[in-house]
Structure 1
Amino acid sequence: MANRLPNYELQHDQQAVPFSLRTMEAIDQVNQGKPDQPHRHFYYTILWSFTATGTHMIDFVDYEIKPDHLFFVSSGQVHQVRTKPDPTGVVLLFTSEFLQMNGIREEFIEQLKIFRSCEENPPLVISEPQKATLHLYVKQMQQAEQLTDYRYEALGAWLKLFLIACNNVCDLDPVNPQQLQAGQTILRSFKQLVESHVTQCHKVGDYAEKLFITPNHLNDVVRSLLGQTAKEYIQRRLTLEAKRRAAFEAATTKELAHNLGFRNPSHFTKFFRAQTGQSLTEFKTKSWKS
C-alpha cells in the first residue's frame, strides 16, 4: 500500500503564521537527526545550506546539497531533505498571504527565475560577495522577527530584497523582458488552468480555447517564456501528478488512469513509460520512498 503524502501548513508553536525563519540546526535537533519523510506544504520554502551536505529530493528528482547552495521550493511541491549529521543553514518559510499583506504581487514571484513549480529545481550556487549580501538580509530578518511593531512589514521588505538578490545572480532560463511583458498574462492564466484542469484536459487546444487564443499562439508564448511547448508543459505537469498519486495513493493502475483523465489504462501506462523511462511498478518501488 502506498504511503499517505503528508501535507503541512505553516505553523509555529502550533499556531498558524505567515512567515518563519528557522535554522537547519534547530530543525535537525527537533527531528533528532532523522530525515523527514517526503511531504508537501502549501507555502514557499527557501533552504540555504551553510555547511550542510546531503540530498534534496524535489518532485522526485534528487539534487546534491553542498555549502552555499540555495533551494527554492514552491507551494504544492513534494520534497524531502536528507542531510549528514550536524547541518548548518537557514530555512525561510512564507505563505502567499504574507506576500499579499506586504504588497508583494503574485506576479513578482511568478516572474522570478528561482521558483520553478513544474520544472527542474537545481540549486542556486552563490559566490563569496553574494553570500555576504544575503547574510546581511538574513540577519536583518532575524532581528525583525523580534520587533513588536511593524514586524511583518520589515520582514517583507528584507525578504523582497533577498529574493531580488537571488534572482539577479540566477542564470536559469534568462527571459527577454519584452517577451515576458507581452506574454506574462497568458502564461500565468495558462499555468493556473493547467493546475486546475490537468487531470481532465490533456490537449493544448483545450487550454487555448479557455484562453480565447489559438493553439499556435499559446505555444509561441509558452515556448518563448519557458523554453518548452505548451504540450510539453502539460505533459510534464500530468506526469508529475501521476508520480505524486502513484507514490502516495493506494490506487490501482486502472483507478490512477481514470483519476488522471485517461480512458484506457494501457494509454496511461504507455504515457508514463514514455515520460519517465520506467514502468509504473518500477517507479513505485524506488528506494527514496523508504
Structure 2
Amino acid sequence: MSQNIPRFELQDNEQVRVSSILQRHVPKYFPTHRHNYYEMVIITSCEEGDFSHSIDFVSYPLLAGRVYFIAPGQAHAWNVKSYSGEYEGYLVTFNEAFLLTGNQNLERQVLKLFDPLNSEPYLEFDPSGFNETFPTMKLLEDEYNKEQSDYFLLRSLLETLILYMKNLKPQGNDKIDLSCQRLVEARKQIEKYYKSERNVEFYARKMELSSKRLNEIFKEVLGQTVTQVLHHRLLLEAKRELVSQSKTIQNISDELGFENPSYFSRFFKKNEGVSPTEFLKQMFK
C-alpha cells in the first residue's frame, strides 16, 4: 500500500503561525512529512531521554537551547511514538510571501539559516537566558494569539526574531562573506540544473569563474567540492521521491538524469550505503 509523505501547507489567509510544541503535538503525532513553508523549531527545555527528530532523514537530538531550521520541501519527522510534554518550546512557521517580499537583506539571512546543505541545521543558545536572547518571542506569540492580530506588527516582530538568530552565527570575515554571496548564486544554478548537468565546468561558466576557483569557494564555506554538493542534492531528491512512493525507481532514475535504473541504484548505494529498496524498507519498517 502506498504511504505517501503527507504535505502540510499554510493557506493564503494564514501566512504565519506561532504555537508552542505542546499545542501542536497533543493529541496528534505527525510521522514523516513535508510542508510548503519555513519552520523554526525552538527547544527551550527537554527531559533526559532519547528524544529526537529527523530533517531530510538525518536524526538530531532534541536538546534544550537549540533552534532548528527546516526549509520548504525538506522531509521532517518527530522520532517519538508518543508525547506528553517531555520537551517544550515553540514552532514558528511562515511562508515566503509573508516575509521575503522586497527585503533582500532579510532574504539573504533566511537563505543562510534555512540552507538544506548546512551540515548542522541548528543554532545554539543558553536556555536559561532565553528571554534575553529572544526578547521578541513573547511579543510575537501574544500578538499572534490576539483575536485580531496586526499583520504588519507580526511581520516586524518575526523579522526581528530572525535578526536575533543572526547574532548566534559565527561572524566571518569579508572574504568569507564574499564567498557566501558567490555560493548563494552558485547554489541557485545547481538547484536549477542539477538533474541534467553534472559537470563542474558548466556551473563555473555560469558564475564566470574557473572550475578551480568555484571548488575553492565551496570548500572554503561548505567544506565540500561542487561535485559532492551535486551528489548530495541528487541523493536527497532521490530519497524524497522514494519515500513518497508515488513513482517507480525507473521514473526516479529518468527524472534525475541517470542513464538507467542500474546506474541510479549503484549511485544510491555508493553514497547512502544501502540500495534504494533497502532504504525504503528501513524507512517503513
1:281 and 2:244 matched: no
Give the drift of 1:246: 1.4
Unaligned runs of 5+ in 1: none
1:44, 1:22 → 2: CA distance? 14
Indicate the residue corresponding to 1:49 in structure 2. Answer: 43
- 1:266-286 deviation digits (Å, cap 9, x = unpaired): 221221111111121211111
| Counterpart for residue 108 of structure 1 | 109
Q: How far apart are the structure 2 equivalents of 1:267 and 1:135?
A: 49
Q: Assess, with a 3 A threshold, how the Cα gap between structure 1 residues 28 and 73 changes in structure 2: closer, same or farther.
A: same
8 Å Cα contact 1:180/1:225 also seen in 2: no
Contact 1:42/1:95 (8 A) holds in 2: yes
Q: Secondary structure at the match of 2:268?
A: helix
Counterpart of 1:140, as a letter, is: L
What is the one-letter code of the residue matched to 1:56?
H
Residues 21 and 90, structure 2, Cα contact 8 Å, conserved in 1:
yes
The equivalences for 1:147-186 within 5 A come to: 151-170=150-169, 175-181=172-178, 183-186=179-182
Q: Which position in structure 2 is the counterpart of 1:89? A: 89
Count of aligned pairs = 277
SS at match of 1:136: coil
Q: Shift of the alpha carbon at 1:235?
A: 0.8
- Once residues 22 and 235 of structure 2 are traced to their aligned partners in structure 1, the CA distance between those partners, rounded to angstroms, is 35
1:139 aligns with 2:138: yes
Give the direction of change, closer, same or farther, for the CA distance of 1:201–1:186 in structure 2 (3 Å limit): same
- 2:243 is aligned to 247
The 10-residue stretch of structure 1 (122-131 or 193-202) with the greater mean CA deviation from structure 2: 122-131
Q: Which moved more, 1:191-200 or 1:80-89?
A: 80-89
Cα deviations across residues 223-267 of structure 1 (Å, max 9, x unaligned)? 222221111111111110111111113433333221210113222
Matched letter for residue 208 of structure 1: A
The CA deviation at 1:123 is: 3.8
**TM, length-normalised to structure 2:** 0.85
User: 1:129 Cα shift?
Assistant: 5.5
Q: TM-score, normalised by structure 1?
A: 0.84
Structure 1 residue aligned with 2:188: 192
Question: Which whole-Å CA distance do the structure 2 matches of 1:102 and 1:137 have between them?
Answer: 23
Aligned counterparts of 2:67 and 2:2: Cα–Cα separation in 1: 31
Contact 2:99 2:159 in 1 (8 A): no
Q: Is the 8 A contact 1:39 1:78 kept in 2?
A: yes
- The gaps in structure 2 that reach 5 residues or longer are none
Aligned mate of 1:59, from 56, 60, 66 = 56
Q: Which residue of 2 aligns with 1:201?
A: 197
Give identity over the alignment, percent.
Answer: 25
Structure 1 residues 239, 90: CA separation in 2 closer, same or farther (over 3 Å shift)? Answer: same
2-structure distance, mates of 1:282, 1:45:
30
Equivalent residue for 2:211? Answer: 215
Going from structure 1 to structure 2, the CA distance change for 1:215 and 1:142 (only over 3 Å counts) comes to same
Following the alignment from structure 2 to structure 1, what is the Cα–Cα distance between the partners of residues 181 and 134?
A: 34
Q: CA deviation at 1:80?
A: 1.1
Separation of aligned partners in 2, 1:175 and 1:192 = 22
Query: What residue number does 1:238 align with?
Result: 234
Q: Provide the residue aligned with 1:40 in structure 2.
A: 34
CA contact (8 A) 2:201 2:211 kept: yes
Q: Decide whether the 8 Å contact of 1:55 with 1:63 is kept in 2.
A: yes
CA distance change for structure 1 residues 88 and 185 in 2, over 3 Å: closer, same or farther? closer
Do the aligned residues in 1 keep the contact of 2:64 with 2:127 (CA within 8 Å)? Answer: no
Q: Deviations over 1:57-115 (max 9, x none)?
A: 100011111333321111221101244322432110011222224835321222x4x42
Checking the alignment, whether the CA contact within 8 Å between 2:106 and 2:159 is kept in structure 1 is no
